[in-house]
Structure 1
Amino acid sequence: MLLVAAALLIASMHSLGVVGSSVVPAAPTVVKSDGQLDTVDVRAARGRTFLDGLAALSPDRLAAADHDRRVVATAMDEPPTAAVVASWWAGLDDGTRLRLERGAPVVVGNLNGVPYAVRDRANRRVLATGLADPDGDASQQAMLGQVRDALHRDADAPAKSLVTLDTRGAGRAAIAIGDLETAADVTVVVPGMFFTVTGQMDDFTATAGDLYDEQATLAPVAAPAPGTGVAVLAWMGYRTPDLSNILSLELAKTGATRLERTVDGIRQLRGDHQPRLGIVAHSYGSTTAMTALASGHMRADSLTVLGSPGSDVRRASQLAVAAGGVWVGGAHLDPVAGSGYFGTDPAASSFGATVFDLGVVPGIGGDVFRRPVGHNDYLKPGTSSLHDVALVAVGRGDLVRNGIRHHDDPDGGGMQPSFDLYLVRPQDLQPRD
Structure 2
Amino acid sequence: MLLIAAALLTASMHSPGVVEAPVVPAGTSSVVGAPTSGPAVEDHAALDHLVGSRGSAFLADLGTVDGADLARADRDARVLATAQDRPPTPAAVRTWWSGLDQAARSRLVDHAPAVVGNLDGVPYDVRDRANRSTLARGLAASGDGSALHGMLQQVEAALSPDPGSPDRVLVALDTRGSGRAAIAVGDLATAADVTVVVPGMFFTVSGQMHDFADTADGLYQEQTAVAGLAAPDPARGSGVAVVAWMGYRTPDMSNILSLGLADTGAERLERVVAGLDAVRGDVRPRLNVVAHSYGSTTAMTALSSGRMRADTLTVLGSPGSDVRSAEQLAVGRGEVFVGDAHDDPVAGTGYFGTDPGSPGFGSTLLDLSGGVPEGTAGLFRRPVGHNDYLKPGTSSLHEVALIAVGRGDLVRHQARRGSGGTGGPQPGPDMYLLRPQDLQPRD
Q: TM-score by structure 1 length?
A: 0.91
Q: Equivalent residues in 2 for 1:194-273 (5 A)? A: 194-225=202-233, 226-273=236-283
Structure 1 stretch displaced more, 258-267 or 399-408: 399-408
- Does the Cα contact within 8 Å between 2:196 and 2:290 map onto a contact in 1? yes
Q: Of 80, 94, 103, which residue of structure 2 is paired with 1:95?
A: 103
Deviation at 1:244, TM superposition (A): 0.5
Deviation at 1:132, TM superposition (A): 1.6
- Does the Cα contact within 8 Å between 1:193 and 1:240 map onto a contact in 2? yes
1:396 corresponds to which letter in structure 2? R
Give me the whole-angstrom Cα distance separating, in 2, the residues matched to 1:238 and 1:366: 39
1:339 aligns with 2:349: yes
2:140 corresponds to which letter in structure 1? A
Map of 1:390 onto structure 2: 401
Give me the whole-angstrom Cα distance separating, in 2, the residues matched to 1:406 and 1:295: 23
Map of 2:31 onto structure 1: 18
Q: Equivalent residues in 2 for 1:148-167 (5 A)? A: 148-167=156-175
Q: Equivalent residues in 2 for 1:10-409 (5 A)? A: 10-15=10-15, 17-18=30-31, 20-21=34-35, 22-24=40-42, 26-28=44-46, 41-133=49-141, 135=143, 138-225=146-233, 226-358=236-368, 359-362=370-373, 366-409=377-420
Deviation at 1:156, TM superposition (A): 2.5
Give me the whole-angstrom Cα distance separating, in 1, the residues matched to 2:420 and 2:373: 33
1:235 corresponds to which letter in structure 2? W
Deviation at 1:403, TM superposition (A): 4.7
Deviation at 1:150, TM superposition (A): 0.3
Deviation per CA, 1:180-221: give whole Å up to 9, x if none. Answer: 010010000000000000000000111111111100001211
1:2 aligns with 2:2: yes
- Does the Cα contact within 8 Å between 1:190 and 1:286 map onto a contact in 2? yes
Give me the whole-angstrom Cα distance separating, in 1, the residues matched to 2:122 and 2:439: 48
Give me the whole-angstrom Cα distance separating, in 1, the residues matched to 2:142 and 2:405: 45
Deviation at 1:154, TM superposition (A): 3.8
Q: Secondary structure at the match of 1:387?
A: helix
Deviation at 1:94, TM superposition (A): 0.3
Return closer, same or farther for 1:153/1:363 CA change in 2, 3 Å cut-off. farther
Q: Secondary structure at the match of 1:173?
A: strand
- Does the Cα contact within 8 Å between 1:363 and 1:369 map onto a contact in 2? no
- Does the Cα contact within 8 Å between 1:204 and 1:234 map onto a contact in 2? yes
Structure 1 stretch displaced more, 290-299 or 46-55: 46-55
Q: Secondary structure at the match of 2:44?
A: coil
Return closer, same or farther for 1:174/1:364 CA change in 2, 3 Å cut-off. farther
- Does the Cα contact within 8 Å between 1:7 and 1:420 map onto a contact in 2? no
- Does the Cα contact within 8 Å between 2:143 and 2:149 map onto a contact in 1? no
Structure 1 stretch displaced more, 395-404 or 278-287: 395-404
Q: TM-score by structure 2 length?
A: 0.89
Q: Secondary structure at the match of 1:149?
A: helix
- Does the Cα contact within 8 Å between 2:180 and 2:246 map onto a contact in 1? yes
**Alignment coverage as a number of residue pairs:** 409
2:237 corresponds to which letter in structure 1? G
Deviation per CA, 1:234-253: give whole Å up to 9, x if none. Answer: 00000000101000000000
Deviation at 1:223, TM superposition (A): 3.8
Give me the whole-angstrom Cα distance separating, in 1, the residues matched to 2:68 and 2:99: 23
- Does the Cα contact within 8 Å between 1:25 and 1:42 map onto a contact in 2? no
Deviation at 1:40, TM superposition (A): 7.4
Q: Secondary structure at the match of 1:278?
A: strand
Return closer, same or farther for 1:355/1:25 CA change in 2, 3 Å cut-off. farther
- Does the Cα contact within 8 Å between 1:48 and 1:80 map onto a contact in 2? yes
2:372 corresponds to which letter in structure 1? V
1:23 corresponds to which letter in structure 2? V
1:160 corresponds to which letter in structure 2? R
Deviation at 1:159, TM superposition (A): 1.7
Give me the whole-angstrom Cα distance separating, in 2, the residues matched to 1:283 and 1:365: 28
Give me the whole-angstrom Cα distance separating, in 2, the residues matched to 1:140 and 1:349: 46
Return closer, same or farther for 1:411/1:403 CA change in 2, 3 Å cut-off. closer
What is the root-mean-square deviation of aligned Cα atoms in Å? 2.1
Paired-residue identity, %: 63
1:18 corresponds to which letter in structure 2? V
Q: Secondary structure at the match of 1:132?
A: helix
Deviation at 1:410, TM superposition (A): 4.9
> Higher relative contact order at CA 8 Å, sep ≥6: structure 1 or structure 2?
1
Structure 1 stretch displaced more, 223-232 or 132-141: 132-141
Give me the whole-angstrom Cα distance separating, in 2, the residues matched to 1:98 and 1:350: 54
